[in-house]
Structure formats: C-alpha cells, structure tokens
Chains A and B, each alone.
With several copies, the nearest count.
Chain A
C-alpha cells in the first residue's frame, strides 16, 4: 500500500521536504505515518493533520492511496 505525504509551513522545514511517498504493508495511524517517514524527528505537539483534505486525529488509520498532510496551527485572515 502507498500513501502520499504533504508538509506545510514550518512542518515542511522540520521534515526537510514538501512531500513524500510512503509504502507500507501493516496498519498505520497518522502518527505512525509520521514516525515511519521521519524516524529521526519527533512530531511537534501542536501539529494539525489532515487525510484527503479533512482534519483528522493523530490516531486516524490511513488507507491505500490517502493523502496525509502535516502542518502547524493555521494563521490566515
């Protein structure tokens, strides 16, 4: 199975790249996706996560083909 990862704003700097692809065979939560893709970097505590452009919790389980995004608190307006 394969998912696409996207990083925005300061999380893009933390991850060191804007996007990513992860292939996996087991069951993964969003938080586990981060750890698998960024084994040497802990996920900042206030990070927001989205799957297919909808907000989800860290323990949301991803599925094949999902787009998983990591970003800091939003600051628009």
Chain B
C-alpha cells in the first residue's frame, strides 16, 4: 500500500507500472485491478479554467488518506493499492489523483477504488482554487457525490 502527495506532474500509467514492477511474490493471486484517474478539465461550473492551485494540510492530509485506505482494506479483500494526489499549481490535462486497487476478484477492486475516491473527496483536506479564463480566481465550493451520475 502506498500513499503519496506530489508537487510535480506525473504520468499515472508510468506510476502504476513502476510501483507494481517493484513488487515481487504473490502476483498469481491478482485477478483484478480497478483504477481511477482524475484529470484537470479546462472548464468547471460553466467557466473556462486556465489553471488551479491545490492547497492541502501537511500532516493531516496524509493522516486522513491513511485512514481512508485502512478502512477500504477493512471492508474489502485488497492485495495492494496505490494512491497519488497532486498539490500545488496544476494545469489542464494534468493528473490530479490516481487510485489503483489490486484484488483477486473484481467486486473488491471496483468497490474499494470507488470508496477511496468518494471518501477522499469528502474527507481529505485538499482545496482547489481555480484560475479562470477571465483572469479571476475562485475557490471551488463543494465536491459533488460521485455515486450519482451528474
């Protein structure tokens, strides 16, 4: 299990491969991988967005992410997981968050990866400030519930 906060842009696919390639043993039990990648869009709530600054609470953010992943491990049969979240200045098409969960059976990988994302969106101390196309800045007010299609 790995939880990482990054200040620089990263390639999610490269990260997954590097992470898993470093692992040895027990790979024969891996039947399912569930992955979610959150990417910065160039629009939000009707406005063009040029960039974003992601603030966090060093110490508390890591602590909350660890609690979330532990809870997922408690609820589902997880072999391994990787969670990476960007902070600092981010631009459209860059990855904001990567969640990958490895399990034997697909139900666990699907459920746990989604749980981690939803819990992160409601519990982990991160705050987005958007730089709009107009030059104005605004704080993103609220995350939506991702269990409902928008």
A→B interface (CB under 8 Å): 6, 8-10, 50, 53-55, 69, 71-77
Contacts and interface: CB of A to CB of B under 8 A. Distances in A.
Contacts of A6: 57
- Binding site secondary structure of chain B: mixed
Contact of A74 (B38, B59, B121): B121
Nearest to A50: B60
12 contacts: A9-B55, A9-B127, A53-B63, A54-B63, A69-B57, A74-B121, A74-B124, A74-B125, A75-B139, A76-B126, A77-B96, A77-B124
B121 A8 contact: no
In the complex, the 3 A-B pairs of residues with the closest C-beta atoms, listed nearest first: A76-B126, A9-B127, A53-B60
Given A74-B121, A77-B85, 20 more contacts: A6-B57, A9-B127, A9-B129, A9-B139, A10-B127, A10-B139, A50-B60, A53-B57, A53-B60, A55-B123, A69-B57, A71-B125, A72-B139, A75-B128, A75-B143, A76-B54, A76-B124, A76-B143, A77-B97, A77-B121
Interface in B63-86: 63-64, 85
Contacts of B124: 74, 76-77
A71 B57 CA distance: 10
A75 B127 CA distance: 5
Interface string B33-62: 000001000000000000000111101100
B4 to A, nearest CB: 14
